[in-house]
Amino acid sequence: MVLVMTVSRWDPPVEEITRFHQLVVGDGLSVRAAGLDLGWSLATAYRIAHRDGLPLRNKTLSSQVVDEIVALFAQNVAPMDIVRRLGVNPSSVYRVGISIGARQRPAPEGRRAVATARRVEYLELRACGLDRRSAAAACGMGLRGALDVDKGVIKTRGRRVPFVPDGQAVYRYKRLMQVLAYVDGRVSVPVEVLPQAAVEKVIDRRYLSLVERERIADRVNRNLSVRAIARELGRDPGTISREISRNSGDDGIYRPFEAHRKSTLRRFRPKVSKIAANPRLKQQVWQWLRMEFSPEQVAGRLRREFPGDETMHVSHETIYQELYCQARGELKKVVAHALRTGRTRRKPRGQRVVRSRFVDPMIMIADRPAVVEDRAVPGHWEGDL
């Protein structure tokens, strides 16, 4: 006896098929998008499309569609907005954007690292005083995406979750997110982040103050030379030249408040040490310290082993500062084993004040008064009662 099994295919209701035709032919959606809109499986959508002879979208974009995508990218339209306007595949839009340089190709370290670098680019513009809309337009970012960057979130699977940075720009991103609260002037800005008094404070005569930067901007607008400005401010011409070239805007105009914000941002604390920020350098330093190399030997050997790599060069003082932290508990044992001296804190090397042997100053016997030598007063004789 032979059993013959037949598989019956499910056919959607007539109303859904009519709606499917309308979405594909009338609205110009793809077969995949129309099927998902109706809750069909991909196989069912393509089976109905082939059976009814519906037009299937070409996998390759026509030259007309490519020109429209390029024109929209030139207008700083977000990629997903282009997808919704033209009804094309998001991958095709991103591929065209990468080919014309409007989008970045994902780096080998991952998409999150690229997203972090892009957010840093946007936050730097915000830190320079640009509003959200202008900074987003300059970075080719949508307004909704810019708002997500300001809030430190990212949209994933239909909901917004905290953004976790990755890559080499992690610490820069975190510092800019702290400064952004100060730039926006929100009430929730913690005072210890970047208070106004710290911005205007003159740290040292070596650093340019806000008043000096205002004077520089005024003289630059009057087309005075660098040397003339330096003579008037009592500064070196190289200091004025570096200040103008380093802190001028992208349009070449020197603005004193923007320049002062940039300078303050560069000195923002706390800063991550060079060893902590470079895992490769940290591993190499600790490896040689375990071999009982002194920090001076480690610093010298790094320059010999990596002569052309500045990221692997570090001074012995930086190594000492990395070790001599407030070590307690288990960390104190780690620091003690790292140095061959076994110390967990610095040994004072400065000149110490020589302390006298006695509290009261001593008088030599030769300096006794003459009245004592005469022994005319009772009590000056030894053994008097």
Chain segment 57-97, per-residue pLDDT in tens: 655 677 888 888 889 988 888 888 888 788 777 778 888 88
pLDDT single digits (tens) 121-154:
898 888 877 788 888 888 878 888 888 998 888 8
Segment holding 31, helix H or strand E: helix 31-38
256: which residues sit within 8 A by CB, 6+ positions away?
210, 213, 214, 216, 217
Alpha helices per DSSP H over 225-376: 226-233, 237-247, 256-266, 274-277, 279-290, 295-305, 316-323, 330-338, 370-374
Instruction: Give tens-digit pLDDT for 190-225.
Output: 434 455 666 666 777 788 888 899 999 999 888 899
pTM: predicted TM-score of the whole model, two decimal places: 0.30
SS3 state of residue 204: coil
Instruction: Report the mean per-residue pLDDT for the chain.
Output: 77
Residue 313 tokens read as 């060069």
Task: Retrieve residue 188's tokens.
Answer: 């929730």
Residue 136's region, left for phi above 0, alpha for psi from -120 to 50, else beta, is alpha
Phi, psi torsion values for 160, nearest 5 degrees: -100, 130
> Which phi and psi (to 5°) does residue 32 adopt?
-65, -50
Residue 263 and residue 184: Cα distance in Å, rounded? 18
pLDDT-derived band at 271 (thresholds 50, 70, 90) equals low
- Helices 42-52 and 31-38: crossing angle in degrees, nearest 10, is 120
**Per-residue model confidence as pLDDT tens digits over 326-381:** 443 444 455 555 565 656 555 655 555 555 555 556 666 766 777 666 666 666 66
How far apart, in whole angstroms, are the C-alpha atoms of residue 137 and residue 154? 19
